[in-house]
Structures are given as C-alpha cells and as structure tokens.
Chains A and B, each alone.
Chain A
C-alpha cells in the first residue's frame, strides 16, 4: 500500500505525460504480483468497493472532529478523501500498514458491517499519504491525471508492445492480470484476445472549419450528422455481449436494455442516445443513465437507451476494419435491412454535391440532438487513434448570449481557492414592476488561467452576500456565454436550461442593463427530437427523418 501511495502521490504532482509513464512503468516493474495487478486495476478504473461509500467517510470525519469542523475542513480542502486523510492521526500502536493486495482482497470479502472497523484499523496504521491513497482507492476516484489509456500505455511499454496489442487482450483479462504481466515480462504466450467481445480501439476525427474544407475534394467524403449522445462500441462474440465507451471503458452494467436487445455477432460503432417513442431525448436525459454501475427499472422505463449505428468493424467473425468506409457502409446497410431491431437504427448519410450545399444544410440544422456533421473519406480504413486526414468533425457554431454574473462558487480540486463556478442570468420583468435577473445557467470553463484570476479577483472585490462557499456579486459584469443548445426546464427558475454553456468572453465594455433578456433566449429554443428514417421516420425538407421546427 505504501509503494502504491507513493506512486499516486508522485503522479498527482507530476504534470508531464512522459514522466507519469515512467513513474507507472517503474512501479509496475518493481512491484511483485499481485500488488501491481491491483494497482493497474485501480488506475484503469476496474475496482469497485460497494461497501465503502462517501457517506461512510463523512461519518468517520464527523465522529473524529464533529460536524461543524468537518464541514469547514471539507469546504476548504474540496476533496472528501483528502480531508479525512489529513484530519486523521496515525496511531503508532496500530501495527504495520496493509499491502495493496491485502486491502483489495479483504474488502472484496468483507461484509458491509465489517468494513468500518477494518478501515479504521488501516487509517490508524497508515501515514497521511497512505490514508489518502487508500481512501481514493475506496471511493473510486483517483484523479491523479492518469487515464485508463495512459495506464495501458505504461503496461505496454514495459513489455515493448504497442498499446493496441494490450487493448485487444484487455477485456478478456481480469485483475490482478497475472497472464498479462507473464506475457509482457516473462515471455509467456500472449493471452487470448477473445476476438469479438474485446474492445477495438476507436477511430477518432479531427476538428475542421469551413475555410479548411475548400482544400478538400467533396466527392471523396461522406457526411453524417454528428449526434449529441455518447460514442459507443457494441461488441459481441460467442454469447459475450458488451457495450464500451469510446475510451474502452465497459459500460454494459448501466445499459442492460441495450445488452438484452443484442441478438447478433459483431462489433459496431455508434451513438448511444435516449429515445422515447420516435424522439431522441435531450442529452440531459442520457446523462441520467451515465456513470451508474446498476440501473433501476424506473430508469430503464423512463430513459430507454438506443444505439444509432454508423460503422461496422467486425461482422459474423470477419474483421472489416481494413475495408474502405464505403464498403463497410454497404455491409452495414445490408445487415440492417435484414431485420428490424427496435433498440438499433442506422445513422443516415447526408447527401451533398459540394461544400456550399453541405454548409447550408449544417446551417439550417438547429435540432437539439445534433452537434454538427461528421465527414469521412469513402476510402478510409478503420484505423485506431486520431489519424490526420480521413475523418473530420465539423461542429455546429455555438449560440451566444450576453448574461450578467450573479453568483460565484469556489471550485474543487485544483481550483479550490478560486471562484471558478459562475452562475449568470438574463433580464425579465420583475414582480415589482422593474426588471430582474433570472439565473439561466452555470459555467466553469471557457476562460484562460489569466481570465480565471481576473474573475476570481472581480468576485472578491464585488461581493454583496455570502452563502457558505457561494458569493453573490454586484449585478454589473456581463459575460458572453457560448452554448450548444437551449431547452425548456422546470428545474430552473427562468424556465430555460442551456446545454454545455461556457464563458466565451468577458464583456467589461458592455453595461449590464444591455445584456440579453429571457425572451431573447426563448427565441432560440429548438425542438428536441430529430429522427432517423429507419425507425418509422418521415420525409422532410433538407434531410429525410430530421424534423426542425423553430419556436415562433
């Protein structure tokens, strides 16, 4: 545990990717099985301890120093595990600290009732770094700036293998990954890759804008709508059915409705959406389904999941990744035509003769479920990573509104001493006759570090009221907010909610009275239900299956 704690500690302060890799590689080489395997599981997000939840840790802290002091401490530190590790004191009589394997294996066997006593004994025995690492491990949020991909890269490096070779065998393995280390370090045979149900590293697109398009030949490219969901991979083989995120994380547990609906063999690339009847629900609804290890029947009923397919990587035992996009598309369409599958449909191609026509279609498209366009070369093989040239994403331009800063809250983590979460509002007629501001959204990015320091100072200098970590400020700073969509909301006082709002510019030049009104925002409302043609869709003006109606 101590070696693992030192690793996490150094990783958390080391900003450079290569240095992080070296730290992980050194740890993996020097640490014996099974500790290193459990560490790898922790770094790739593969460990879960259902009996050690934040409420338990909060309870420990309150028991130690009382509710009030614990609340003040947590508010200052901004991280529950770190707070507890700092207020706890090492007990020299507690005996030697546990090993990582002891921690993992004990907790996997321990009942919910046994966990608190075990944890307390370990907290007494470890130093504050050890406690921090233990608690980070238990709560499942290491936050040391290491992605699963980076950890896999480090593993691949110690065996001088490409990272994709590790990815391909990864999902056939289980922690603590002894066969993986035997292969990479001892020359044992490569573990079975388990073909179809393994995650195949995704092909990613590069951003592009209108002017850059002119250098490209439009006849070489195919266009699809860029759906506003989550990119997923559906992978099945020999009865194994899995749903992976773009980064290779297994999210099957959160989407049993999709898993159950799989009655085929293959690997498909598509967009995960929430769909009711024939309409795609706003991204918000999909968010309700994410980051859950299990899901309730109510959730399944109210937020039914759906996958819109746009590529096929394997089909019935055949690897199609080296075929050109056009041929894969033919195979995909033919396969889709064989059978109706209610949870799956096909993402249509958007036809166009030249860039101007495509630009016009993109311009007209204001439906909420669409983020822009994807452009894929017809002759592109399916390559892992983000190759330059074959695939592009051409995002919709954001909408803009001038809003007035109303409240600011201190951030957490790296920003725990900065006012970095900003709530802003627009004008409407007030109850007392005059105009008042109604909050329309909250943004915590879009600004540079320098702008953050400026905003933090502005907030401190213009505070009118404090509510715990929140400050109310004078209503005089105008922020230009960029956002990708807007929807009616019953949860917001103003009746509207912005999608993905971020601070585009600080408008010190603009008086607050000239900021936008709620009425202005309502004019931007779009419908939330673009539809696909193969799910009972209809014909429409610019593309079959996509309805766009502007609010009057």
Chain B
C-alpha cells in the first residue's frame, strides 16, 4: 500500500511516500527550492511558478509544488535556465510594485523584498501601464490592491483551512484583484488569517496599519489564552507613544502550519492595567485566611491552579470551579469505562480524519481551532462530517455533510443511538450488549427526533473512512446525565476505530480539572473569587479588590485540547502582586510561580519537566515541539452503563448560552478591536413565539439571573431557540447551555 518512490534531487538519493510532491520531499531533505505562493497547510496554489525544476526526460520545466515524483527520476533544482526563469518571474512581480517599502507594514519581513534581493533583481526590463487601484477597507482588514502580487495564498487559506470562503480572485490579467465573494463588503469571521499569509503588504490589519515596523517590535512566543485549542502565537510588543509603557501591537502566528482565529489575532489587549491600593495585599491575605472557599475560573495557568490546590490543603478551604469540575467528572466517568484518563484524539487527528461526528457544541464559535481542523479535513481528505446539534450553524454549512438535528435536552438518547449504530457489530461484553438490547429505540427516535434513516445514512457515508473522530462539546459535559454520556463515548472509542476529542470550555479547563480537587459550588458566604465572583475578588479583569496579572502578563503552562502542556510567556510587565506572593505570605513557599511547573501532579500525567526546559517552537517541517504531551494514565475500568433515563422535554422560550464570533469571555470583551455583538439573536419564528420584534429591548430571566438585551432578528437562524451571548456577563460556566427562560419586552 504505502509505496515508496526512490528518486534523486540534485544527485541526492531521496525517498517519497505516496502523495508527497517533489517540493515536500526536497524540503524534508533540506534541499532549497524557492517558492512565492506555496503554503504548507493548503493545497498548492501553483500561481507563482517559482518552484520550477527540471526533470530528465521531461520537456520544459516541472512545477515541483504539485508534481509527485516517479520512480528513478532525476530532478535538477538549479541551473542557469531555471535561475533565468526565476529572475524573470521576480521581475514580473516587481512591475509597478509601489516603492513604498519605507512605510509599508510588511517591510522587513516581506517575501517580495527578500526574493527580489535573493535573485538580485537590480534592473527592470518589463513594464505595464499602471492603473488606479483603490485601497479597500474591510473592517479589521485593509486591502491595498496595488501591493498585491496575486499569489492567492489568502484565498486558499480562507477556503481550505478557515472555511469562511469569503474572498475570491477576480480574474482579469494584469487587473486581477482579490474581492469579497458574493458580496460588496467582506462578510466573514475576521480571523485575519489572510493578513498572516499575505507575503506582501496588500492585506493588513487596519488596527495595526502604520503604527510600527517589523524591526521595532519585540516578539514573545506564547499560547493563546482565549480557548482550549491552545494555538501558538507571538505577541509583538513595543513602547506605546513616546513615553508610555510597553504595549502589544499585534499578534502573529506561524501561518505555514498553524491558524489563529480573530479573537487570538485581534484580541490581545486584555492585560490588566489596574493597580491595587496599598493595603489590598493585606486585605487579600486576611480574606483568604478567613475564607470558606475560593471560587476561580479556568482561565488561569496550571501553576496558579497548583498553588490554589496547595492553599486548599494548607488552609482547609474548598475550591469551586463548576466548569472544570464538570469536565473532570465527565472524564472520570469516561475513564471508568475506558480505563484511561485522557481522550485519544487531538486537533491533528481531526485534521487527518476522513470522518467526524461533532455533537453538543456550536463548535465554530466555541472552539475555532476544532472548526479549522474540520475544514482542513473536509477540504483535503474529503471527510464526511456529521454535525449533531439542536440548531443549524451557518458557519459550518460549507463543511458538514450531514446535519443531525435533535431535540434540546435529549443528548443522552442521541449518544445512545450513535453508539448503537456504530457498535452494531462490535464485540461488546454481555452487560454492554444488554444495555443496547434494552434500549427502547422507538421512544428514543421519537423523543430525540432523529430518524433511523439518518443513522443508516451516516453509517453508509462512513463506510470507506479509515480515520474517524468523535468530537464532544460542552452540552454533553454539562448535561445532567453526563456520566452515562461519557461512558457511551468511551464505549465508542473503545470498540470502534473512532478517536475521541472532548472539547474543554475554557483555555485551561483541562489543566484545572487534572490539578484541583474541586467541590460542588454552593452558594455560601465568605468566598474569595479568583478571576471569578466572590465576596473578595482577586482578579485580572480590572476593578478587583486585588489586581493580578492576566494571562499575557505571566508565565506558566496551560493544557490544551490535545492534552499538551503548553508554555506561555510574559508579553507585558505587570507591577503588582501575583498569587504566588499571596501563597508565600500564607506559608506555601516557592520563589517563582514557574518553580511549580515540575511539581504538577504526576498522577494526572504531568511529566515533571521544569518550565525553563520546555520548548516552544514548531520545526521548519511543522512538527509541534511546544511543551509536552501528558503521559497516559491507566485507571481502573469498573464503570457500568446505567439504564437510559427519561429524556427531558424543553418547551417554551429557550435560549442557548452562546458567544458570537470573536468573543469568548470577559477577557475578549476587554479587547478593543473585537466587535461586541451582545444582542439576543433569534429567528423570525422565535420572535413570533416570544412576541418580540427586531430592535426591542428585552429582559431575559433564567435561573436567578435577569439581564436586559436588545433583540436582533437573525435571518441566518432557524427554529425556536435564541442565542444569548455570555462574554459580557458572568454566567456560571458549568451550566447546561440550553435554558428555559422568560423573555419580556421592556420599554
């Protein structure tokens, strides 16, 4: 099957796997072939022709980026003819390219500059009549057509990796440009990936434009703090104004292999600028000493979580974090059947899969990293993607092959059906088989609203798939019957070739759930809030009783969805106290917060590597060398599936707690560039049912909360569930996200 092809490049004997091109093999072997439009994570654009090589026995030049080698062929990557061809290409690129390098945002890191110098183009013998090309302002993105070299990288990433498919090439020879697809204005999720891949200064960030130059900025490698995908990024800092402190000017990423969503790219200014009162440290100490519990959010580092755990043990207080507790319990139930602590899948597994089921998550906004991985799988492997959720999602429309719409609250039934369908022929134990035999299928079909034919259609479309992934979202983790759902997921993973990815809700939910012993959040008095609500609030969100650094102001590690422990670094200085200072004063002593890195719980899979020994880079071939993967932990497999509970019914007005694109939490709310769309979004059907219309101010009450929002009629939505954003309020992160609510119009 895996045929190996032997051939030579420049006289060097090399080997290619099936599916590899001459260029990828050359790069693997350290042989340099210049390219302008090639980008590793997409299929070859083949627009630049810089990568031409000669092959013996073949007339003319061969494009190495999209040509697979044949057995025994001899490739020449450089000779006079090839050099001449490349110099001419560079000259053509340079025709009428504005000589504004001095002010261009890309100057100093520009591919065109580099290659023009590399091929020493010092004289121009081509010319063309220049034309008026106006700058386009597309919100967060600016497009300057006169600088564009039509490499088409932006179009390819937008379509193949991100999935927005928002831009396209308007062909027209010399007057070709990039235009928004099917619309006047750019209508997309503003991930800014097109800015990242642009080799010249044509696509730029409007917020950064002309504010600083590449050579002035200091780069700090870090990990994105907004969701659990743990994307690598670099904060670029410089002084602000002429006597200001340092400021993050922009965020960049290794776009060759990784992607970043708009929140990561544009939502970088969430640093804590608050300075505390002189006596607040003493007050904080007193508050912790007298506290019954500490309530904290999962947007903290592992080291902070570890210190909190040590404080808990030392002072005998409780720790509350509903989001991580539920995740931990989900994984515990999962482990009780699978016999191991960590899920088997990763973003890479999703990228390489050819079949995937996403269930219980509005994944495009919950975790863009997973969305991009799914898009990659769909576009590059033709993956079949089943999206099971009570609501359709327009953002996933291009990618999914089957929408499995179920009734709100019936997740347990849906999982049982999926497991039943997938494990039809599996070699189950007797008790497990008995569980499936006892299922009242008719009842489940009726209550979940999933038809038998939908399941068989799924099975049919998956028949030829070899790498399958099951992606489980927060609706299942926070479900009342999460324990049983987790065991069903474990069962699927155990007896089929599905790998499993459980999507943690916050940036470090996974890490916190492994490190802390958490208790159920009771509404008691005397709670210290750590980045969360409390009677005394220690927080990096501003207006706290004691200010602490935000995630871009401290070093430490977080655990990503890949079970990878990722280091992050200090981009901005914070003058104030940290949790470690409090811990030191309370008798838990270590000089630096990062000295706890090697002491993180070995029983949970942490490796005991010191912070300073953690690497944080991607190799030139894209191998992830950031941090380390958690060790697998074996558990006792003694879990028993419970009988299916009655499936609940949700009637009346239901809201779904779901953030809009580019928003995740109170930190992204602080970011200046990110749009703050805090409307209650509902369909026309919902507006009729709730008797409200577009633009109405409404009061939404659910549980004990009452908030007021404007209602926005969203033509992209269907059904009777409305979307309620949570980034600007603090909704307890452990709740089941669908909620019955009362909505009344206020004047």
Do A and B interact?
no
